[in-house]
């Protein structure tokens, strides 16, 4: 892998870590915006998956769909099956938490937000072990 690819991976990781820091900070506040927490968990995982795209030499898609991203990765490295379900669990937080659906609004609970954070951290740990650059 060339130096430009390595630096690109590091940038994607840094952006993902900033999302996770945002989550950590929000979870320690008195009033927890669960929708925002879940959104940033999804965003962190999306960015980590895009770092894997660089590692595996896959053209980065312009999508927020974790299901699409993880399935493309699995085509190149079946070991990522281990995190597929976790990615599926976070997938809905990219859009549904940000925008009202007509007169309805999806508002995850604080417990759901904490679970999303735990899942995001597990995915991060798995991916960082795979990235060893």
- What digits encode the pLDDT tens for the residues 41-85? 999 999 999 999 999 999 987 888 999 999 999 999 999 999 999
- What is the reported pLDDT for 28? 97
**Cβ-count burial 10-42 (b if 16+ within 10 Å, e if not):** eebbebbeebbebbeebeeeeeebbbbbbbbbb
Q: In terms of pLDDT, which residue wins out, 94 or 24?
A: 24
| Structural domains of the chain in order of their starting residue, each with its CATH number | 3-131 (1.20.120.330)
pTM surpassing 0.85? yes
Averaged pLDDT score across all residues of the chain: 91
């Amino acid at each position: 892998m060339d130096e430009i690819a390595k630096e690109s991976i590091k940038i994607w990781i840094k952006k993902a870590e900033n999302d996770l820091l945002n989550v950590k900070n929000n979870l320690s506040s008195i009033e927890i915006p669960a929708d925002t927490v879940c959104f940033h968990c999804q965003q962190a995982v999306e960015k980590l998956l895009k770092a894997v795209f660089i590692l595996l030499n896959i053209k980065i898609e312009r999508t927020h769909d974790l299901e699409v991203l993880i399935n493309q990765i699995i085509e190149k490295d079946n070991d990522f099956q281990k995190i597929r379900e976790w990615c599926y669990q976070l997938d809905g937080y990219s859009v549904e938490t940000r925008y009202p659906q007509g007169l309805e609004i999806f508002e995850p609970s604080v417990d759901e937000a904490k679970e999303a954070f735990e899942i995001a951290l597990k995915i991060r740990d798995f991916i960082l072990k795979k990235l060893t650059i």
